[in-house]
Structure 1
Amino acid sequence: MSSDAKVLSKGIQEVSFFEKLKPHLELIAAGLSGVFILAGWLFDKHGDGAASIISYLLAFVIGGFAKAKEGIEATYENKELNVEMLMIFAAVGSAIIGYWTEGAVLIFIFAVSGALETYTMNKSHKEISSLMELQPQEALRITNGFEKRVAVSDLIVGDHILIKPGERVPSDGLIIKGQTNIDEAAITGESMPVSKGEQAEVFAGTVNMTGSITVQVTKASTDTLFQKIIQLVQSAQSEKSPSQLFIERFEGTYVKVVLLVVISMFFIPYFLLGWSWHESFYRAMILLVVASPCALVASIMPATLSAISNGAKHGILVKGGVHLENLGHLEAIAFDKTGTLTKGKPEVTEVIVKEGLNKEDLILKAASIENQSTHPLAQAIVKYTKQTLKKELLQPDSLEDIPGWGVKASINGEQWKIGKAAFVGNDKADKFAEGKAKGLAGSGNTLVFIEINGVLCAMIAMKDVVREETKHAIEDLKKQGIKTIMLTGDSEKTAKAIAAESHVDEFFSECLPEEKVDQLKQLKEKYKTVAMVGDGINDAPALATANVGIAMGEGTDVALETADIVLMKNDLPKIAEAVRLSQRMNKIIKQNVVFSIAVIMLLICSNFFQLLDLPFGVIGHEGSTILVILNSLRLLKS
């Protein structure tokens, strides 16, 4: 390798390393600030005053740079002082009166909170890139019988595109030729593919599973349903929480009041109370120290981190304190059906065989035929047969897949047809087994019929079954006074059956992603604080819209990135456990806030009446901080 190439390679590696390090720079700076504080304290203990001050100055600069830069820029932009500036003034004030340690510790605490805030913000934007990866970049456009690969952005309404088996649909449109099964999990969240023929609508981001289809584009690439999902996620993520808005309104007033009082103490006691200039300046500096909200900051962050650590220990991953705080005020919770309340994969619930036939032999041959297919229903039959019979499957003599209908096969000289009711004849299917098909379909089952040599011989019922723990989880939430709602893209008949089985209070069926978002907005108006539980790409906008988004651990990357809370083991009862943890955290935070404000007010009053010297002010200020931290650490216990 040439020297130029080596230099270029080294440069690329250095840039790559820096890019990886960049999101963590604030946290690294906070850590270094803590190291220099410790060094300064040790130097001071050994009588090296100059080295001690230099260490504290480094702690100030390294730890406070990010927050100082943020505070100065925000002050310049909004023309209003903020809490960041108050922290800078308080730290400088501590240094002026010789208390370097207190100023440096104040900077350190603020630096840590800022680093965690930045890290959380960076993590929250990753789901957008995950969504974009599912959007095809190219399409096979057909013009006058000629095929040409073009960028999806170049497609216009009216274009004809060819989509082969296994490819993702590049744009919304109507099928004008061909028949196939479409996996619409990216849009509806439903695990079972949908059979589609001519004039049926298809959506960008879904997967063509079996047959080749020609589609007429009906929407520009920027207006597809899949793009709307991305836009909904972006919009919901950018909305500020009520807590954030309250803090932004509060901080300007708080800073102004404190600084006004500090400035007043420079002059008023000198002119009205006969204090000396030295005493007035001394008391004003003490006020800056004791009024700095160290204990107030410590009231929330240690409690939040302790609660988050406790949750992680029990399989509940929380992405930020605000989400855990909101969970404690929950009034309603909406659940996606597939993969959340249910297992997400179809299972055989009943097999009905015509009287006089050998059930085991029939099922074995049916599974042998279906084993040639990747369709979820076919795989459910194969799985059921292997678990039930524990026998080797056979090899069909011939097999023909009929997209959208089923499969034809020859096995041991018999002619088989396996598929939907219309494939074997609706009349025969309705009358089979004394009309049991209607009852099974009404309870949420999908039915597959088996015809041998022109005679309808069997019916297999399958459905996405409710998780064993679902009922317990729902009942536990109801005991806490939380309303439970199911949102699903499935039919009303299936939704009604699953809702009854899972014991939810209410359900909404046939919901596309944007309709789930609309339902969430209506629920938020009615119940104020609402959570959404889901696992699919289609759930991402709803997860982002809800006050608290909760994702199942086995869900898609997009759902996991969009959600505020992740259940690592798909354990629904953990939701009620998380609510209880949130309520404990909120209670401790309230205790801390009341205590810290009371101490600050007591110290301020004592300082004004000249009853408080600086060492005692520091002890009271730092002591209250330690006490609220110790109180917060109780949340680490189960």
Structure 2
Amino acid sequence: MNPTEARLLNADGTTKIVPVDEVKVGDTLKVLNGDQIPTDGVILSGSTSVDESSINGESIPKEKNVGDEIYGSTINGSGTFTMTVTKDSSETVFSKILAMVNQSQKSLTKTATLIQTLEPKYVTLVLLLFPLVLLSGPYIFGWSWELSLYRSMVYLISVSPCALAASAVPTTLATISNLSKKGVLVKGGAYLSKLADLKAISFDKTGTLTNGKPVVTDYMFDKEADEKELIDIVVSMEKQSNHPLATAILNKFVQGRDLNLTVENEVGRGLSSVFKEDTYRIGKPTSFKVISMNYKQKEKQLSSEGKTVVYLGKNEHVIGMIALMDIPNQYAKDAVSYFKGAGLHTTMITGDAKLTGEAVGRVIGVDEVVANVMPEDKASIIQSQQKKYGSTGMLGDGINDAPALVTADVGVAMGDGTDVAMDVADLVLMKNDLSKLVYAHQLTKKMDKVTWQNIYFSMFVVIS
């Protein structure tokens, strides 16, 4: 998760690869295409697109130019740039994970904490009763001093608090250890009991329920057109583009040839190029005027499914279309189904448009979709759910999810998310695998059951 190396730019223009923890605020770094950005900073020269889905919840990469702020651990796109460092390495994701691991050893479940609170009082009471047990033998029951002392020692051993203490603490630590091996970091055992008692759970969309990266889901071209040639034209244009959706289109049409076209990026109109004396353009639907009813109907259908549509035009006549979408990840549907089956109310909270949010929500099967949400509104939504349903959990991955993660009874951060999200969350899923949260919920249910079994058995031993 955490970048380990950075390209330090020297005064003479040469670069030197150094460990990230040696980078200081004010240093100048060079970031190549595809690199993981080493730390927070500001771009000094160059332009690129950066995948910041873990920070702003947007699945489409964001264009960055001189003066723009960039964040450590985000992924650089196709451009190369230099940056000045604005954040020390002591604030890295990895250092915060270490802090969470240390915290988890100091915090126990509610039951274990209660036992640890009562234990000293219990021991004091047992010791105060010891002289009474010892003296009652000879003076009340007529035992010899030897027999009375023997039975008093048996009393001390049988009512020892060891069994009671061992009923909760080892169970909690074993659960934390088990979850750690499965890739779930827990800030403290107290949150394990809260996880088992949840009545509702809310999910951020981008990067939590979805993969966080758009892919081509549909495409169509005029029947009388040469589809192979059009794909070659599209690929040739997108290869020279910094368009946020270019990578998804190129990943789809890997069979396309590069025709070495000259491409112009027109603000508000998209990409345009000339091939065989015809002008081709790739742009958003509203930038075209000559559109057949067939394409209009198809675009309306795809948009209702939450997909982003771009048109391909030839001499300003639309002859093709491509639809893209940030699709649900492979674990989302099963995880939501499990929590619904366990009696929890499931909600998807997203800053995306209502149409997009509801389309994804239908696929995944959540009970409720709340769309067009600003980051500051997420916390109030969690508060309203706590009043309506009771104990509520929240899953998120970005800075925009942090207020909601803090407000929730149990905040769960995705491992590929931001350091802020992981800092304020109570649990961290290291591999963005929602099946691990299902496992954690099942294990905490078992933990509570085993803990109370141990308590009942230990008290039975003491009493008998």
Give the Cα–Cα distance (whole angstroms) in 2 for the partners of residues 284 and 513 of structure 1: 64
1:73 matched residue in structure 2: none
Aligned residue runs from structure 1 range 514-525, under 5 A: 515-525=377-387
Show the counterpart of 1:451. Answer: 313
What is aligned with 1:555?
A: 416
Q: Which amino acid in the other structure matches residue 341 of structure 1?
A: L
Deviations 1:37-73 (A, max 9, x none): xxxxxxxxxxxxxxxxxxxxxxxxxxxxxxxxxxxxx
Following TM superposition, by how much is the alpha carbon of 1:600 offset from its aligned partner in structure 2, in angstroms?
A: 0.9
Residue pairs, 1:25-174, within 5 angstroms? none
* CA–CA distance in structure 2, aligned partners of residues 242 and 251 of structure 1: 14
Contact 1:419 1:449 in 2 (8 A): yes
Structure 2 counterpart SS, 1:186: helix
Which residue pairs with 1:371 in the alignment? 239
**Residue of structure 2 equivalent to 1:342:** 210
Contact (CA 8 Å) 1:179, 1:404: kept in 2 or not? no
Amino acid at match of 2:451: I
In structure 2, the partner of 1:108 is: none
**Helix, strand or coil: the match of 1:456?**
strand
1:349 partner amino acid = T
Residue type of the alignment partner of 1:290? S
Alignment match of 1:480 (pick from 336, 342, 349): 342
The alignment partner of 1:340 has SS state of helix
User: In structure 2, what is the equivalent of residue 396 of structure 1?
Assistant: 259
Write the letter of the residue equivalent to 1:531: G
> Structure 1 residue 593 and structure 2 residue 449: aligned?
no
Taking the TM superposition and a 5 Å limit, the aligned residue runs for 1:287-302 are 287-300=155-168
For the residue of structure 2 that corresponds to 1:591, the secondary structure is: helix
The 8 Å contact of residues 335 and 532 in structure 1, kept in 2 or not, is answered as yes
Native 8 Å contact 2:49 2:61 kept in 1: yes
Candidates 167, 182, 198, aligned match of 1:330:
198
Once the 2 structures are TM-superposed, how far is the Cα of residue 463 of structure 1 from its aligned partner? 0.2
| 1:342 partner letter | T
Residues 429, 437 of structure 2: 8 Å contact kept: no
Residues 1:205 and 1:484: Cα distance change in structure 2 (over 3 Å): same
Given candidates 336, 355, 358, the residue that maps to 2:226 is 358
Choose the corresponding residue for 1:420, options 271, 281, 284. 284
Distance in 2 separating the partners of 1:183 and 1:308: 32
Please, which moves more after superposition, 439-448 or 195-204? Answer: 195-204
Deviation at 1:369, TM superposition (A): 2.7
Which residue identity lines up with residue 441 of structure 1 in the other structure? S
Tell me how far apart the structure 1 counterparts of residues 176 and 189 of structure 2 sit (CA, whole Å): 8
Q: 1:290 to 1:517 in 2, by over 3 A?
A: farther
Aligned to 1:502: 364
Calculate the aligned-residue CA RMSD, in Å: 5.5
- Alignment partners' CA distance in 1, 2:69 and 2:422: 29
Cα distance in 1 between the residues matched to 2:148 and 2:276: 104
Kept in 1: contact 2:288–2:316 (CA 8 A):
no
Match of 1:461 in 2: 323
Inter-partner Cα distance in structure 2 for 1:550 and 1:328: 13
Structure-1 separation of matches of 2:267 and 2:32: 13
Residue 254 and residue 348 in structure 1: after superposition, are their counterparts in 2 closer, same or farther (change >3 A)? same
Look at both structures and tell me which one has the larger radius of gyration over its CA atoms. Answer: 1
TM-score (norm 2): 0.70
8 Å CA contact 1:187, 1:512 repeated in 2: no
Distance across 2 between alignment mates of 1:271 and 1:593? 35
Q: How far apart, CA to CA, are the structure 1 residues paired with 2:68 and 2:428?
A: 37
User: In the alignment, is the contact (CA less than 8 A) between 1:181 and 1:193 conserved in 2?
Assistant: yes
Amino acid at match of 2:350: T
How far the C-alpha of 1:501 sits from its partner, in A, is 2.2
> How much does 1:420 deviate?
3.4
1: CA distance between counterparts of 2:176 and 2:116?
24
After TM superposition, the structure 1 stretch with the greater mean CA deviation from structure 2, 316-325 or 328-337, is 316-325
Relative contact order, CA 8 A, sep 6+: which one is greater? 2
Q: SS where residue 465 of structure 1 aligns?
A: coil
CA drift at 1:482? 1.0
Work out whether residues 353 and 459 of structure 1, in 8 Å CA contact, stay in contact via their aligned partners in 2: yes
8 Å CA contact 1:179–1:403 kept in 2: the answer is no
The CA distance in 1 between the partners of 2:152 and 2:387, in whole Å, is: 47
Measure the CA separation in 2 of the matches of 1:209 and 1:580. 39
Change in CA separation of 1:210 and 1:408 when aligned onto 2, cut-off 3 Å: farther
**Relative to structure 1, is the Cα distance of residues 594 and 242 closer, same or farther in structure 2, using a 3 angstrom cutoff?**
closer
1:514-554 deviation digits (Å, cap 9, x = unpaired): 654554455445444333344567657755764445566x7
CA gap 1:264/1:527 in 2 versus in 1, 3 angstroms: farther
Matched residues, number = 447
Q: Aligned letter for 2:202?
A: A
Identical-residue share of aligned pairs (%): 33
The amino acid across from 1:555 in the alignment is D
Q: How does 1:597-636 map to 2 (within 5 A)?
A: 597-602=459-464
**Which residue number corresponds to residue 192 of structure 1?**
60
Match of residue 434 from structure 1: 296
Contact 1:181 1:196 in 2 (8 A): yes
Distance in 2, matches of 1:600 and 1:261, equals 15
What CA distance in whole angstroms lies between the structure 1 residues aligned with 2:157 and 2:307? 68
2:19 matched to which residue of 1? none
Which sections of structure 1, spanning at least 5 residues, go unmatched? 1-129, 140-150, 155-160, 214-219, 387-391, 603-638
1:532 aligns with 2:405: no
C-alpha distance in 1 between matches for 2:327 and 2:153: 67
**Is this contact kept in 2: 1:487–1:508, CA < 8 A?**
yes
Partner Cα separation in structure 1 for residue 384 and residue 75 of structure 2: 31
What residue in structure 2 maps to residue 382 of structure 1?
Answer: 250
Shift of 1:246: 3.4
What residue in structure 2 maps to residue 216 of structure 1? Answer: none
Distance 1:600 1:530, change over 3 A: same
Report the Cα distance in structure 1 between the residues aligned to 2:31 and 2:432, rounded to whole angstroms.
36
Give how far 1:373 is off: 4.7
CA distance 1:292–1:403, change in 2 (3 Å): farther
Is this contact kept in 2: 1:188–1:512, CA < 8 A? no
| 1:474-494 deviation digits (Å, cap 9, x = unpaired) | 233222211111123333332
Pair 169,460 (structure 1): closer, same or farther in 2 beyond 3 Å: farther
Provide the rounded CA distance (Å) in 2 between the counterparts of 1:170 and 1:328: 36
User: Which residues of 2 match residues 234-273 of structure 1 at below 5 A?
Assistant: 242-243=110-111, 246-247=114-115, 249-262=117-130, 264-265=132-133
Q: Which runs of 5+ in 2 are unaligned?
A: 10-22
For the structure 1 residues 270 and 408, does the alpha-carbon distance in structure 2 shift closer, same or farther, using more than 3 Å as the test?
Answer: farther
Alignment correspondent of 2:14 = none
Q: Please say if residues 41 and 70 of structure 2, whose CA atoms lie closer than 8 Å, have aligned partners that are also in contact.
A: yes
Q: Which amino acid aligns with 1:487?
A: I
Separation in structure 1 between the aligned mates of residue 160 and residue 70 of structure 2, nearest angstrom: 59
Higher helix share: 1
TM-score by length of 1: 0.53
- The amino acid that maps onto 1:295 is A
Kept in 2, the 8 Å contact 1:211–1:403? The answer is no
Shift of 1:367: 2.2
> How much has 1:260 moved relative to structure 2?
2.7
